[in-house]
Amino acid sequence: MGETAASTTTGATRGRPRSERVRLAILAAAADLLIEGGMAAATMEGIAARAGVSKATIYKWWPSRGQLALDSFFNRTKDSIAVDRSLPLAAALITQLDALCTLFRDTPSGALMRELAAAAQADPDVREALEERWLRPRRAVGRRLLADAVARGELPVRLDLEVTLDQLYAPIYHRLLFGHQPLGRDLPARLVAQALPGLAAPEPGPTTPGSSPESSIAATERG
Amino acid sequence: MGETAASTTTGATRGRPRSERVRLAILAAAADLLIEGGMAAATMEGIAARAGVSKATIYKWWPSRGQLALDSFFNRTKDSIAVDRSLPLAAALITQLDALCTLFRDTPSGALMRELAAAAQADPDVREALEERWLRPRRAVGRRLLADAVARGELPVRLDLEVTLDQLYAPIYHRLLFGHQPLGRDLPARLVAQALPGLAAPEPGPTTPGSSPESSIAATERG
Amino acid sequence: MGETAASTTTGATRGRPRSERVRLAILAAAADLLIEGGMAAATMEGIAARAGVSKATIYKWWPSRGQLALDSFFNRTKDSIAVDRSLPLAAALITQLDALCTLFRDTPSGALMRELAAAAQADPDVREALEERWLRPRRAVGRRLLADAVARGELPVRLDLEVTLDQLYAPIYHRLLFGHQPLGRDLPARLVAQALPGLAAPEPGPTTPGSSPESSIAATERG
Amino acid sequence: MGETAASTTTGATRGRPRSERVRLAILAAAADLLIEGGMAAATMEGIAARAGVSKATIYKWWPSRGQLALDSFFNRTKDSIAVDRSLPLAAALITQLDALCTLFRDTPSGALMRELAAAAQADPDVREALEERWLRPRRAVGRRLLADAVARGELPVRLDLEVTLDQLYAPIYHRLLFGHQPLGRDLPARLVAQALPGLAAPEPGPTTPGSSPESSIAATERG
DNA sequence: TCTTAAACGAGACGGTACGTCTAGTCTTCTA
DNA sequence: TAGAAGACTAGACGTACCGTCTCGTTTAAGA
């Protein structure tokens, strides 16, 4: 990956140094094309043309289209995963889940993530990078919040941590990828309420409560 | 889609009738290649060659590779979604989830589903067909089980149905697609136990209990 | 080679037949580009574009650029090598040599032959085809004329046939390729007169005598 | 051209002087690659790599690959063109022609000359340099020998000098380039005997007489 | 000794063309 | 009419060189 390779080149730069301008142009062009037309539109030739760059330069720094897509996604998505640990557990969780939902719903990152998830099915390197650089850090935040709450006695000791994390995050990706249900604004709060019923359902953080309350048993199948 | 197209050809077939042998050969070849090497290996030319069939014949009956992959998946996967409604709720749910997990873990259908999910991100028709013909029927079964339980008073009236369904099914797809956690044999039981804590955690149905109990709070990050 | 391949396909043509229109368009485009800018300009991509044809189609029928150049040369150059055997020997020889000189001097075939000779140095198949399909038939005509004359007693029995043939033909190619001397109109007559001095130097056939008489001992180094 | 450029740099050499080691390494690498695989193998990058030299250094001193090939040819080929003018005419001519034949037949210079001749068709500078630095000096020697003989009355006054020179030299290049006949050891003597029949055919100089006498009318087409 | 300017190695870069591959379409013959 | 065979267009693939460029380093003449 470009960034990794660049960082490993410690000192002793022999030859013409790598152009940062070029690197950014490639990442930007890739992201643009991915958003506009998905993987099908983001051909290496198209990216090279749009970035005003030679194809060979791209291949020199990225081994595959998937890896490039990955890098362009991370370059675009400045999504902070830091969480205010002074917040009550429910609010902290909802805040993080809402950031994810909003990112996927209201920015091009949703489309990018869909393409990346698709690319990950064909390219093990992409899958691994996606897990390590995207999924794992976010799960780590959630895991820490839950573990702290268990330690404080707010959650039962027998809590199934990994499964709970899946039940909080997976529905968001599931809806993004399959579209069987919308990524509604109230989804984060409902996910937390359903997964951790012992907690009082508090202020839903940044969500606008009451908007499109698809909730409760009345909700039926879409379509 | 092949099956649909065939069924609409009601009567009065003039000319040479469509060869069922050819249709099955195409579906089989597509499924084989998909399993062996994923979408990348399942080229139209490869499928035609393996099936001993002309490319034009394939294009005549299937509009795209994704659609063909979809058909070949359904042709392969004889996955009953019927559920014994006399079973206790938890057992019924676990049985269904376990069938899904086992299908993805122990048969080529897991690989096929990964490819289909990827294809769905690029082709709206595939996404829609996947939702309608695969996801929706399975969710309908689960929804019916939950609604019955609510009606019987086993579950609270305020149960968030759609979110609960996501929390039962989504983790399975999430783990299949991103591989951050294994599709363990105890996963269905844990999903149900965590999502519906009010229920007694009963015999886990067909799962072998106690095998690799990654469960409870002790479980930490993989890798 | 295209023509060869086409002719071997005797009967039983299954599938779509090869398009003659396409074949000719490719040969014409190749010849045009070769004449305009030589081998450097006659790229496969350029030929395909100019012919309105896909690159794959070209590669299907011609194994290399050299082979294609060769075919396009033969397609362009309808140069009859038949000779009127009732003519006196000197006239017959001069007629043939003059046809070659004129072809190289006054038509694009001269430029084409230069490119082909160059290509032959890199591609043994081109060299062989050039020898068999171009050089050999022409030498065969000259050899027959000389052998007949020997049989009639017009030429000495000890005549060194192959060397004489080289001395008649080689200077023309030498001047074409290296340009150290022009391909003058009187060159054929002078070649014959010098190589076969026993013959009376008769009417020089189609040449215009007296034009640019670079001849005799007075001629000195060019430039 | 390298040597020319170096010699024109008269005095006042400020800065680091040009490295002779580098110049020779480049010429050697170019010649090696040309001999091994022709122009196709002698890429600028390959030459630079083999010579342990930067591409920019090559481009600094040679304008094109053809020019470099030319220089490397002259650097390799230490072919004396001096002739013992005390020898009889036929012997002197044969000696010179035999040197050329032997050079082309028994040393890598034959392969180099083929590549150069090919390069000359595409690059006018190469063609001109080849003519001036290689062909012209050799023809000048032959011309001087013939002119002397005419002055001494050994050859007729009406001798067509330029055509005779072509008939002596051209067949050698013709056979080298097109391979329709071998560059036999007896070729020089036969060329002289056929082109200048008035002379007594003397000792063939350095040739081994009697070896493979492909000569006289019995010789027929090869292959 | 120090300065200075060119030579040089390394290698990034925009290009162009390569030869291959697959997607789809079209054309002809056969069953 | 279905289907096989296969010619064809379109265009992306990943590679190889091209010739140019920007660096940092080296080398010897001149100050």
Residues D89-116: tens digit of each pLDDT: 999 999 999 999 999 999 999 999 999 9
Q: Do chains D and B meet with 3 or more Cβ pairs nearer than 8 Å?
A: no
Q: What confidence tens digit (pLDDT) does each residue in A107-139 have?
A: 999 999 999 999 999 999 999 999 999 999 999
Residue D132 has pLDDT above 80, yes or no: yes
What pLDDT score does C200 carry?
A: 53
From B121, B171, B178, residue closest to A163, measured CB to CB: B171
Local confidence band at A141 (pLDDT 50, 70, 90 cut-offs): very high
Closest amino acid to nucleotide F25 (CA–C1'): A14
Residues of chain A with C-beta less than 8 angstroms from the C-beta of B171: 163, 166-167, 170
What pLDDT score does B214 carry?
A: 43
Local confidence band at D138 (pLDDT 50, 70, 90 cut-offs): very high
Residue A152 has pLDDT above 80, yes or no: yes
Q: Give, in Å, how far the C1' of F18 lies from the CA of D166.
A: 38
Residues 8-67 of C with CB under 7 A from strand F: 14-19, 22-23, 52-57, 60-61
Taking only residues 128 to 147 of chain D, the set having a beta carbon closer than 8 angstroms to any beta carbon of chain C reads 130-132, 135-136, 139-140, 143, 147
Q: Which residue of C has its CA nearest to D40?
A: C122
Distance CA A152, CA A86 (A): 13
What average pLDDT does this structure show over D199-210? Answer: 47
Q: Are B100 and B138 in contact (CB under 8 A)?
A: yes
CB-strand contact D78/E, under 7 Å: no
Task: Output C105-108 pairs: Cβ under 8 A, ≥24 positions apart.
Answer: C105/C183, C107/C77, C108/C31, C108/C35, C108/C76
From B121, B179, B216, residue closest to A114, measured CB to CB: B121
pTM for this entry: 0.84
Name the percent of chain C lying above pLDDT 70.
Answer: 84
In which element (H, E) is residue A116 found?
A: helix A109-122
Output the average pLDDT for chain A: 86
What pLDDT score does D101 carry?
A: 97
Neighbours of chain D (3+ CB pairs under 8 A): C
What pLDDT score does D30 carry?
A: 97
Name the percent of chain B lying above pLDDT 90.
Answer: 70
Residues 61-120 of C with CB under 7 A from strand F: 61
Output the average pLDDT for chain D: 86
Q: Which residue of B has its CA nearest to A164?
A: B194
Residues 6+ apart with CB under 8 A from C47: C26, C29, C30, C33, C53, C58, C68
Residue D204 has pLDDT above 80, yes or no: no
Question: What letter does residue A211 receive in the DSSP assignment?
Answer: S
On chain F, which bases lie within 7 A of the protein's CB atoms? Answer: 1-24, 26-30
From B140, B161, B217, residue closest to A219, measured CB to CB: B161
D81 vs B114 pLDDT, higher one: B114
Question: What does the radius of gyration of chain B's CA atoms come to, in whole angstroms?
Answer: 20
A216 vs A178 pLDDT, higher one: A178
Residue B194 has pLDDT above 50, yes or no: yes
From B160, B181, B193, residue closest to A194, measured CB to CB: B160
Taking only residues 88 to 117 of chain C, the set having a beta carbon closer than 8 angstroms to any beta carbon of chain D reads 114-115, 117
For CA atoms C173, C174, C175, C176, give the dihedral sign: positive
Tokens 């998937």 sit on residue: A66
What pLDDT score does C12 carry?
A: 66
Local confidence band at D216 (pLDDT 50, 70, 90 cut-offs): very low
Instruction: Measure CA A99 to chain center.
Output: 10
User: Best-predicted range by mean pLDDT among A3-12, A117-126, A212-221?
Assistant: A117-126
What pLDDT score does D119 carry?
A: 96
Ramachandran category for residue B153: left, alpha or beta (phi over 0 → left; psi -120 to 50 → alpha): left
CB of A212 within 8 Å of any CB in chain B? no
Name the 3-class secondary structure at B54.
coil
What average pLDDT does this structure show over D144-163? Answer: 94
Residue of C5, C54, C63, C4 whose CA lies nearest to C29: C54
D72: tokens are 């490397």
From B122, B135, B179, residue closest to A131, measured CB to CB: B179
Closest amino acid to nucleotide E24 (CA–C1'): B59
D204 vs C200 pLDDT, higher one: C200
CB of C23 within 8 Å of any CB in chain D? no
What pLDDT score does B84 carry?
A: 84
CA distance C16 to chain D (A): 37
Of A1-5, A155-159, B131-135, D137-141, least confident by mean pLDDT is: A1-5
Residues of chain C with C-beta less than 8 angstroms from the C-beta of D173: 170, 174, 177-178
What pLDDT score does C206 carry?
A: 47
CB of B197 within 8 Å of any CB in chain A? yes
Q: What confidence tens digit (pLDDT) does each residue in C20-35 have?
A: 999 999 999 999 999 9
Q: Are D131 and D121 in contact (CB under 8 A)?
A: no
> Longest Cα pair distance anywhere in chain C, in angstroms?
68
Under an 8 A CB cutoff, do A160 and B193 touch?
A: yes
Torsion on CA atoms C94, C98, C99, C105, rounded to nearest 10: 170
CA distance C54 to chain D (A): 26
Distance CA A167, CA A188 (A): 11
Residues 6+ apart with CB under 8 A from A133: A70, A74
What pLDDT score does C107 carry?
A: 94
Residue D124 has pLDDT above 90, yes or no: yes
Number of cross-chain residue pairs from C and D with Cβ atoms under 8 Å apart: 168
What pLDDT score does D32 carry?
A: 96
Q: Do chains A and C meet with 3 or more Cβ pairs nearer than 8 Å?
A: no
DSSP B136-147: HHHHHHHHHHHH
From D117, D175, D215, residue closest to C160, measured CB to CB: D215
Under an 8 A CB cutoff, do A180 and B139 touch?
A: yes
Q: Give, in Å, how far the C1' of E17 lies from the CA of C123.
A: 19
Find the length of chain D.
223
What pLDDT score does B86 carry?
A: 85
CB of B175 within 8 Å of any CB in chain A? yes
Residue A104 has pLDDT above 80, yes or no: yes
Residues of chain D with C-beta less than 8 angstroms from the C-beta of C186: none
Residue D202 has pLDDT above 60, yes or no: no
What pLDDT score does A198 carry?
A: 74
Residues 101-140 of B with CB under 7 A from strand F: none
Local confidence band at B59 (pLDDT 50, 70, 90 cut-offs): very high
| Residues B106-122: b if buried by 16+ CB within 10 A, e if exposed | eebbbbbbbbbbbbbbb
Task: Output D104-109 pairs: Cβ under 8 A, ≥24 positions apart.
Answer: D104/D172, D104/D176, D104/D183, D105/D183, D107/D77, D108/D31, D108/D35, D108/D76, D109/D73, D109/D76, D109/D77, D109/D79
Residue C215 has pLDDT above 80, yes or no: no
* Most D-contacting residue of C154, C167, C181, C220 (CB-CB within 10 A), to test interface: C167
Output the average pLDDT for chain C: 86
What average pLDDT does this structure show over D38-62? Answer: 96
On chain E, which bases lie within 7 A of the protein's CB atoms? Answer: 4-31
Closest amino acid to nucleotide F3 (CA–C1'): B57
What pLDDT score does A11 carry?
A: 54
C189: tokens are 């007559």
Q: What confidence tens digit (pLDDT) does each residue in C114-166 have?
A: 999 999 999 999 999 999 999 999 999 999 999 999 999 999 999 999 999 99
What pLDDT score does C168 carry?
A: 98
Residues 46-105 of A with CB under 7 A from strand E: 52-57, 60-61
CB-strand contact D15/E, under 7 Å: yes
CB of B185 within 8 Å of any CB in chain A? no
Q: Are C200 and C94 in contact (CB under 8 A)?
A: no
Tokens 């150069």 sit on residue: D116
Q: Give, in Å, how far the C1' of F22 lies from the CA of B101.
A: 57
Distance CA D39, CA A132 (A): 49
Residue of B169, B113, B176 whose CA lies nearest to B137: B169
Local confidence band at A79 (pLDDT 50, 70, 90 cut-offs): confident
Q: Give, in Å, how far the C1' of E10 lies from the CA of A16.
A: 7
Closest amino acid to nucleotide F15 (CA–C1'): A56
What pLDDT score does A12 carry?
A: 66
Q: Give, in Å, how far the C1' of F11 lies from the CA of C52.
A: 14
Residue D12 has pLDDT above 60, yes or no: yes
Q: Do chains A and B meet with 3 or more Cβ pairs nearer than 8 Å?
A: yes
Q: Give, in Å, how far the C1' of F22 lies from the CA of C194.
A: 62
Distance CA B195, CA A160 (A): 10
Quickly count: other Cβ atoms within 10 Å of residue A158's Cβ. 11
Closest amino acid to nucleotide F26 (CA–C1'): D16
Which residue type occupies C132? E
Quickly count: other Cβ atoms within 10 Å of residue D204's Cβ. 21
Number of cross-chain residue pairs from A and B with Cβ atoms under 8 Å apart: 168
C196: tokens are 């076969």
Under an 8 A CB cutoff, do C217 and D159 touch?
A: yes
Distance CA B209, CA B186 (A): 7
